[in-house]
Amino acid sequence: MNKTITFIGAGNMSRSLISGLIQDNTDLNIRVADPDEAQLQFIQQSWNGVATFTDNSEAIADADVIVLAVKPQIMKLVCEPLQADLRNHSPLIISIAAGVSITNINLWLGAQAMPIVRCMPNTPALVQSGMTGLFGNDQVSDDQHDLAESILRAVGSTLWLSDEDKLDAVTAVSGSGPAYYFLVMEAMQDAAQKLGLSADEARLLVLQTAFGAAKLALESEDDAGVLRQRVTSKGGTTEAALKTLIEGGLPRLFEDALKAAENRSVELKNS
């Protein structure tokens, strides 16, 4: 019999995961629970095979996987009422909430040792190009590990971590990372317009260059440093720009920025 997956929360992340699973021709039975009827209606209109519920308990009955996809600040409120349902039923729990530890999720779900995978996806998951860091506790079986992998792979690439604490670094690098690239795109577009290009011209040149550089780097066996040196001829235009960026402290700024994000992730987790 096909396995059943229940999403608690019908927001952006659940929708992108469902969309990815359906595009992947998943054989999972998909259920979604959310108190907001409008969100559920959107799901029904988009994918008519997906069952929707306003009651979380009803939605998780006999589910093999529960994806907790609500905001971190309401996670406790969402988990505690499920304790009675999970007393004699131990599905795989996948949490995508930033900064909520496995220990807390387990405690709020009733404290018996449950298989829990904690993930940190990022917003490009919305266009099936996400990057997700994952960590699973000792209760996660090999089959459940593979199931979690196939669910998150539906929206991009995955990286399993050996230590839950590394999720703070993942948050700093790939979780918050899209915003760093957006800032660079913004700055390059502004600079391009100062060189006399129109806004539309600047946008196309900058975005396609970002996309092409990422694709080239992903498909190359050489690392980014080698690719950079290869396009930097002595005395040329690229060298002139890179000299300005490096002497202006860009590598050091990134080091400080990622450290600040990691520190904030630890603070939020402990708050």
Ligand X SMILES: NC(=O)c1ccc[n+]([C@@H]2O[C@H](COP(=O)([O-])OP(=O)(O)OC[C@H]3O[C@@H](n4cnc5c(N)ncnc54)[C@H](OP(=O)(O)O)[C@@H]3O)[C@@H](O)[C@H]2O)c1
The residues of the shown chain that bind ligand X, judged by CB under 6 A, are: 8-14, 33-36, 39, 56, 69-72, 74, 78, 96-98, 121-123, 175
Least Cβ distance, residue 29 to ligand X (angstroms): 19
**How many angstroms separate the Cα of 213 from the Cα of each of 21, 155, 165, 189, 218?**
28, 21, 31, 16, 9
How many Å apart are CA 240 and CA 40, to the nearest integer?
Answer: 54
Residue closer to ligand X by CB (options 56, 189) is: 56
Spatial neighbors of 228 by CB under 8 A, at least 6 apart, are 242
DSSP 174: I
Residue closer to ligand X by CB (options 125, 147) is: 125
Least Cβ distance, residue 120 to ligand X (angstroms): 6
How many Å apart are CA 132 and CA 150, to the nearest integer?
Answer: 12
DSSP 140: -
**How many angstroms separate the Cα of 200 from the Cα of each of 159, 168, 188, 230?**
36, 37, 13, 29
Residue closer to ligand X by CB (options 115, 130) is: 130
Residue closer to ligand X by CB (options 12, 220) is: 12
Tokens of residue 240, six digits: 């002139």
Residue closer to ligand X by CB (options 115, 121) is: 121
Least Cβ distance, residue 241 to ligand X (angstroms): 31
Least Cβ distance, residue 227 to ligand X (angstroms): 28
Least Cβ distance, residue 119 to ligand X (angstroms): 8
Residue closer to ligand X by CB (options 39, 52) is: 39
Least Cβ distance, residue 13 to ligand X (angstroms): 3
Q: Among all residues, whose Cβ is closest to ligand X?
A: 11
**How many angstroms separate the Cα of 122 from the Cα of each of 20, 33, 50, 126, 177?**
14, 22, 24, 8, 8
Least Cβ distance, residue 258 to ligand X (angstroms): 17
Q: Which of 176, 182, 184 is nearest to 241 (CA)?
A: 184
Residue closer to ligand X by CB (options 14, 144) is: 14
Please name the amino acid found at residue 221.
Answer: E
